[in-house]
Amino acid sequence: MDKKLLLKNGLDENKLPSHIAIIMDGNGRWAKKNLWKRIKGHYEGAKTVDVITSFCAKIGIKHLTLYAFSTENWKRPQKEIEGLMGLLREYLDSKKEVMLKNRIKFRILGDTSVFPDDIKKKILSTVEETSALDHMTLNLALNYGGRIEIVDAVKKMMSSGVTPDLVTEAAIEENLYTHGIPDPDLVIRTSGEVRLSNYLIWQTAYSELYFTDVLWPDFREKEFVDALKDYARRERRFGKTGDQIKAGEKI
Protein backbone atom coordinates (compact mmCIF):
# COMPACT_ATOMS: atom_id res chain seq x y z
CA MET A 1 0.00 0.00 0.00
CA ASP A 2 1.36 3.40 -1.03
CA LYS A 3 0.48 5.51 2.00
CA LYS A 4 2.05 8.61 0.45
CA LEU A 5 -0.32 8.30 -2.51
CA LEU A 6 -3.27 7.92 -0.14
CA LEU A 7 -2.20 11.00 1.83
CA LYS A 8 -1.61 13.01 -1.35
CA ASN A 9 -5.18 12.29 -2.47
CA GLY A 10 -6.78 12.75 0.95
CA LEU A 11 -7.85 9.12 1.26
CA ASP A 12 -8.24 7.17 4.51
CA GLU A 13 -6.98 3.61 4.17
CA ASN A 14 -9.56 2.49 6.74
CA LYS A 15 -12.43 3.77 4.60
CA LEU A 16 -11.49 2.20 1.30
CA PRO A 17 -13.71 -0.42 -0.33
CA SER A 18 -12.24 -3.91 -0.55
CA HIS A 19 -13.99 -4.68 -3.85
CA ILE A 20 -14.85 -2.16 -6.56
CA ALA A 21 -16.91 -3.07 -9.62
CA ILE A 22 -17.03 -0.71 -12.59
CA ILE A 23 -19.37 -0.40 -15.56
CA MET A 24 -17.03 1.19 -18.11
CA ASP A 25 -19.54 3.15 -20.16
CA GLY A 26 -19.15 5.90 -22.72
CA ASN A 27 -16.41 4.76 -25.10
CA GLY A 28 -18.65 5.12 -28.16
CA ARG A 29 -19.97 8.52 -27.12
CA TRP A 30 -16.42 9.70 -26.43
CA ALA A 31 -15.40 8.68 -29.94
CA LYS A 32 -18.43 10.39 -31.49
CA LYS A 33 -17.78 13.58 -29.53
CA ASN A 34 -14.20 13.62 -30.78
CA LEU A 35 -15.16 12.67 -34.37
CA TRP A 36 -13.45 9.26 -34.21
CA LYS A 37 -14.69 5.81 -35.13
CA ARG A 38 -16.20 3.87 -32.19
CA ILE A 39 -13.25 1.47 -31.91
CA LYS A 40 -10.97 4.44 -31.15
CA GLY A 41 -13.10 5.07 -28.08
CA HIS A 42 -12.58 1.50 -26.92
CA TYR A 43 -8.81 1.83 -27.29
CA GLU A 44 -8.87 5.05 -25.28
CA GLY A 45 -11.01 3.28 -22.71
CA ALA A 46 -8.33 0.58 -22.44
CA LYS A 47 -5.89 3.29 -21.36
CA THR A 48 -8.25 4.16 -18.51
CA VAL A 49 -8.28 0.47 -17.52
CA ASP A 50 -4.49 0.65 -17.12
CA VAL A 51 -4.69 3.86 -15.06
CA ILE A 52 -7.39 2.63 -12.67
CA THR A 53 -5.94 -0.88 -12.27
CA SER A 54 -2.52 0.55 -11.44
CA PHE A 55 -3.99 3.06 -8.98
CA CYS A 56 -6.03 0.35 -7.22
CA ALA A 57 -2.96 -1.86 -6.88
CA LYS A 58 -0.97 1.00 -5.36
CA ILE A 59 -3.53 2.05 -2.75
CA GLY A 60 -4.45 -1.46 -1.62
CA ILE A 61 -7.78 -2.26 -3.30
CA LYS A 62 -7.96 -6.06 -3.14
CA HIS A 63 -10.57 -6.74 -5.85
CA LEU A 64 -11.41 -4.85 -9.03
CA THR A 65 -14.12 -6.11 -11.40
CA LEU A 66 -14.55 -4.53 -14.83
CA TYR A 67 -17.58 -5.01 -17.09
CA ALA A 68 -15.77 -5.44 -20.39
CA PHE A 69 -18.24 -7.27 -22.67
CA SER A 70 -21.82 -8.25 -21.90
CA THR A 71 -23.93 -11.02 -23.36
CA GLU A 72 -25.96 -8.26 -25.05
CA ASN A 73 -22.90 -6.71 -26.72
CA TRP A 74 -23.01 -9.37 -29.45
CA LYS A 75 -25.87 -7.31 -30.93
CA ARG A 76 -23.44 -4.55 -31.89
CA PRO A 77 -22.19 -4.08 -35.48
CA GLN A 78 -19.91 -6.93 -36.58
CA LYS A 79 -17.08 -4.54 -37.35
CA GLU A 80 -17.15 -3.19 -33.81
CA ILE A 81 -17.19 -6.72 -32.35
CA GLU A 82 -14.17 -7.67 -34.45
CA GLY A 83 -12.40 -4.55 -33.22
CA LEU A 84 -13.20 -5.44 -29.60
CA MET A 85 -11.85 -8.96 -30.10
CA GLY A 86 -8.65 -7.47 -31.49
CA LEU A 87 -8.37 -5.14 -28.51
CA LEU A 88 -8.87 -8.08 -26.14
CA ARG A 89 -6.06 -9.98 -27.87
CA GLU A 90 -3.72 -7.02 -27.51
CA TYR A 91 -4.67 -6.57 -23.84
CA LEU A 92 -4.00 -10.21 -22.98
CA ASP A 93 -0.69 -10.18 -24.85
CA SER A 94 0.62 -6.96 -23.35
CA LYS A 95 -0.64 -7.07 -19.76
CA LYS A 96 0.33 -10.55 -18.58
CA GLU A 97 3.86 -9.48 -17.65
CA VAL A 98 2.48 -6.42 -15.87
CA MET A 99 0.16 -8.63 -13.82
CA LEU A 100 3.00 -11.00 -12.94
CA LYS A 101 5.28 -8.12 -11.93
CA ASN A 102 2.61 -6.49 -9.74
CA ARG A 103 1.27 -9.79 -8.33
CA ILE A 104 -2.20 -9.29 -9.81
CA LYS A 105 -4.37 -12.37 -10.06
CA PHE A 106 -6.50 -12.46 -13.23
CA ARG A 107 -9.96 -14.01 -13.33
CA ILE A 108 -12.75 -14.14 -15.90
CA LEU A 109 -16.44 -13.85 -15.06
CA GLY A 110 -18.67 -15.14 -17.83
CA ASP A 111 -18.85 -17.75 -20.59
CA THR A 112 -15.72 -17.59 -22.74
CA SER A 113 -16.54 -20.74 -24.72
CA VAL A 114 -17.90 -18.65 -27.60
CA PHE A 115 -14.68 -16.69 -28.14
CA PRO A 116 -12.16 -17.54 -30.89
CA ASP A 117 -9.75 -20.34 -29.95
CA ASP A 118 -6.70 -18.08 -29.82
CA ILE A 119 -8.40 -15.76 -27.34
CA LYS A 120 -9.50 -18.70 -25.18
CA LYS A 121 -5.88 -19.91 -25.07
CA LYS A 122 -4.61 -16.46 -24.09
CA ILE A 123 -7.23 -16.22 -21.34
CA LEU A 124 -6.41 -19.68 -19.98
CA SER A 125 -2.69 -18.95 -20.02
CA THR A 126 -3.09 -15.64 -18.16
CA VAL A 127 -5.49 -17.11 -15.60
CA GLU A 128 -3.22 -20.09 -14.90
CA GLU A 129 0.02 -18.12 -14.68
CA THR A 130 -1.42 -15.55 -12.27
CA SER A 131 -3.53 -17.93 -10.17
CA ALA A 132 -1.19 -17.89 -7.15
CA LEU A 133 -0.70 -14.12 -7.03
CA ASP A 134 -2.18 -12.32 -4.05
CA HIS A 135 -1.62 -8.56 -4.14
CA MET A 136 -4.84 -7.84 -6.01
CA THR A 137 -7.44 -9.69 -8.07
CA LEU A 138 -8.56 -8.26 -11.41
CA ASN A 139 -11.84 -9.76 -12.61
CA LEU A 140 -12.80 -9.17 -16.22
CA ALA A 141 -16.49 -9.73 -17.00
CA LEU A 142 -16.54 -11.13 -20.55
CA ASN A 143 -19.65 -12.39 -22.30
CA TYR A 144 -21.22 -11.78 -18.91
CA GLY A 145 -24.86 -11.33 -17.89
CA GLY A 146 -26.16 -11.26 -14.34
CA ARG A 147 -29.32 -13.22 -15.08
CA ILE A 148 -27.45 -15.88 -17.05
CA GLU A 149 -25.00 -16.20 -14.17
CA ILE A 150 -27.86 -17.03 -11.78
CA VAL A 151 -29.41 -19.44 -14.30
CA ASP A 152 -26.05 -21.19 -14.67
CA ALA A 153 -25.71 -21.42 -10.89
CA VAL A 154 -29.14 -23.07 -10.61
CA LYS A 155 -28.27 -25.53 -13.39
CA LYS A 156 -25.03 -26.49 -11.62
CA MET A 157 -26.91 -27.10 -8.39
CA MET A 158 -29.58 -29.20 -10.11
CA SER A 159 -27.01 -31.27 -12.00
CA SER A 160 -25.17 -31.99 -8.76
CA GLY A 161 -28.37 -33.26 -7.15
CA VAL A 162 -29.04 -30.41 -4.73
CA THR A 163 -32.52 -30.86 -3.24
CA PRO A 164 -34.85 -27.91 -2.47
CA ASP A 165 -34.17 -28.09 1.26
CA LEU A 166 -30.48 -27.48 0.57
CA VAL A 167 -31.01 -24.39 -1.58
CA THR A 168 -29.62 -21.49 0.44
CA GLU A 169 -28.03 -18.14 -0.36
CA ALA A 170 -24.64 -19.65 0.47
CA ALA A 171 -25.26 -22.59 -1.86
CA ILE A 172 -26.17 -20.28 -4.73
CA GLU A 173 -23.15 -18.05 -4.10
CA GLU A 174 -20.90 -21.09 -4.21
CA ASN A 175 -22.03 -21.70 -7.80
CA LEU A 176 -21.78 -18.13 -9.10
CA TYR A 177 -18.91 -17.02 -11.34
CA THR A 178 -17.73 -14.89 -8.41
CA HIS A 179 -17.41 -17.73 -5.89
CA GLY A 180 -14.59 -16.96 -3.48
CA ILE A 181 -14.77 -13.21 -4.16
CA PRO A 182 -16.45 -10.83 -1.69
CA ASP A 183 -19.44 -8.86 -2.96
CA PRO A 184 -18.63 -5.39 -4.34
CA ASP A 185 -18.60 -2.64 -1.75
CA LEU A 186 -18.79 0.02 -4.44
CA VAL A 187 -20.15 0.01 -7.99
CA ILE A 188 -19.11 2.85 -10.29
CA ARG A 189 -20.82 3.61 -13.60
CA THR A 190 -19.52 6.26 -15.95
CA SER A 191 -21.18 8.26 -18.77
CA GLY A 192 -24.32 9.41 -16.96
CA GLU A 193 -26.42 6.26 -17.26
CA VAL A 194 -28.13 5.36 -13.98
CA ARG A 195 -28.72 1.61 -14.01
CA LEU A 196 -26.82 -1.65 -13.45
CA SER A 197 -27.52 -3.16 -16.89
CA ASN A 198 -27.60 -6.79 -15.77
CA TYR A 199 -24.27 -6.47 -13.94
CA LEU A 200 -23.62 -8.55 -10.82
CA ILE A 201 -27.29 -8.34 -9.90
CA TRP A 202 -27.00 -10.92 -7.11
CA GLN A 203 -23.74 -9.56 -5.70
CA THR A 204 -24.73 -5.88 -5.67
CA ALA A 205 -27.71 -6.26 -3.33
CA TYR A 206 -25.98 -4.11 -0.69
CA SER A 207 -23.36 -2.34 -2.80
CA GLU A 208 -22.98 1.42 -2.72
CA LEU A 209 -23.69 2.89 -6.17
CA TYR A 210 -21.82 5.84 -7.67
CA PHE A 211 -22.82 7.40 -11.00
CA THR A 212 -20.86 10.04 -12.88
CA ASP A 213 -21.42 11.88 -16.16
CA VAL A 214 -17.73 11.50 -17.06
CA LEU A 215 -17.19 9.23 -20.08
CA TRP A 216 -14.94 6.23 -19.42
CA PRO A 217 -12.00 7.38 -21.58
CA ASP A 218 -11.94 10.65 -19.57
CA PHE A 219 -12.22 8.88 -16.19
CA ARG A 220 -8.82 9.17 -14.54
CA GLU A 221 -7.30 9.19 -11.04
CA LYS A 222 -9.01 12.44 -10.02
CA GLU A 223 -12.46 11.15 -10.93
CA PHE A 224 -11.72 7.82 -9.25
CA VAL A 225 -10.59 9.56 -6.07
CA ASP A 226 -13.84 11.56 -6.08
CA ALA A 227 -15.77 8.27 -6.11
CA LEU A 228 -13.67 6.86 -3.26
CA LYS A 229 -14.21 9.98 -1.16
CA ASP A 230 -17.95 9.80 -1.78
CA TYR A 231 -17.92 6.16 -0.67
CA ALA A 232 -15.98 7.04 2.50
CA ARG A 233 -18.70 9.49 3.54
CA ARG A 234 -21.45 6.88 3.39
CA GLU A 235 -22.76 4.83 6.31
CA ARG A 236 -23.33 1.20 5.38
CA ARG A 237 -25.99 -0.27 7.66
CA PHE A 238 -27.07 -3.57 6.00
CA GLY A 239 -30.53 -3.31 7.58
CA LYS A 240 -29.36 -2.08 10.98
CA THR A 241 -29.91 1.40 12.39
CA GLY A 242 -27.28 4.08 12.43
CA ASP A 243 -27.20 3.92 16.23
CA GLN A 244 -26.44 0.19 16.14
CA ILE A 245 -23.54 0.78 13.77
CA LYS A 246 -22.16 3.60 15.93
CA ALA A 247 -22.41 1.33 18.97
CA GLY A 248 -20.08 -1.08 17.23
CA GLU A 249 -22.48 -3.92 16.54
CA LYS A 250 -21.15 -6.31 13.92
CA ILE A 251 -22.81 -6.23 10.51
pLDDT computed for residue 239 by the predictor: 64
Q: What is the pLDDT of residues 141-174, one digit of tens each?
A: 999 999 999 999 999 999 999 999 999 999 999 9
Nearest CA to 126 out of 85, 83, 84, 91 is that of: 91
Contact in structure between 225 and 245 (CB atoms under 8 Å) = no
What does pTM read for this prediction?
Answer: 0.93
Domains and CATH numbers, the chain: 3-145+183-246 (3.40.1180.10)
Report CA-CA distances (Å) from 146 to 22, 189, 190, 200, 231.
14, 16, 19, 5, 24
Annotated catalytic residue, options 27, 50, 73, 213: 73
Which of 2, 9, 14, 25 is an active site residue? 25
- 25 classed as catalytic: yes
Helix, strand, coil share of the chain (percent; to 5):
50, 15, 35
> pLDDT by residue for the chain (251 residues), tens digit each?
889 999 999 999 999 999 999 999 999 999 999 999 999 999 999 999 999 999 999 999 999 999 999 999 999 999 999 999 999 999 999 999 999 999 999 999 999 999 999 999 999 999 999 999 999 999 999 999 999 999 999 999 999 999 999 999 999 999 999 999 999 999 999 999 999 999 999 999 999 999 999 999 999 999 999 999 999 999 876 565 556 556 665 55
Reply yes or no on whether 73 is catalytic: yes
* CB 80, CB 38: distance < 8 Å: yes
User: pLDDT at position 122, please?
Assistant: 96
